[in-house]
Amino acid sequence: MTLACADSEMAEELQGQLSTGTLRLYRTTDVIGAELGGALKNVIAIAAGAAIGAGYGDSARASVITRGFAEMVRLASALGAWPETLTGLSGMGDLMLTCTSNQSRNFRYGLALGAGEGFDNRATVEGAATGRAVAVLAPKLGIELPVSGLVAGLTEGRIFMDQALDILLNRPLKEEWVAQPAQANMIAALA
């Protein structure tokens, strides 16, 4: 797990007190990054679930997770988070689990959306509200978040799965994001 605390000395003390033989905590002072990683992964989990629920398969889910992760990093960076925080447990770790586990409410909600089925409206699905908030925030920050925007449209009933797929596949073609030298060094240091 990730322990986020702005005070590095306090974080180290808490890490020592809370870690056990079966619970290992990693610490960071990037509270914004840890918070955003924990929130944004729910949006992408809805999209991943919708891809599976619609019958698009695991390759589509992998694409959604990968492109969704790029959106998470883009938004978190724009809000002052450290991009490397998103490569850790509170970003990529949470994202992988939430996008592949049937125990995830957000993933199950996406499954239902993709299959055109109802979902228990008493269940908490954090990603739906987060997706709507992100869709409003992204244009103000001047960044594109197509997967998150489509999740907002799906959860609000403004678009349907066939439309979402068409929108994604008809976006302008472009080069895939590749780590720049500073980012590549950061990724190598994490390995």
Residues noted as catalytic: 41
Q: Are 83 and 183 in contact (CB under 8 A)?
A: yes
- What three-state secondary structure class fits 2? strand
Q: Are 146 and 171 in contact (CB under 8 A)?
A: yes
Count Cβ atoms within 10 A of the Cβ of residue 168 and give its class: 0-12 exposed, 13-18 middle, 19 or more buried.
Answer: middle
Closest CA to 73 of 107, 97, 44: 44
Closest CA to 94 of 119, 127, 122: 127
To which residue do tokens 């008809």 refer? 170
Closest CA to 96 of 109, 86, 110: 86
Residue 158: what residue type? R
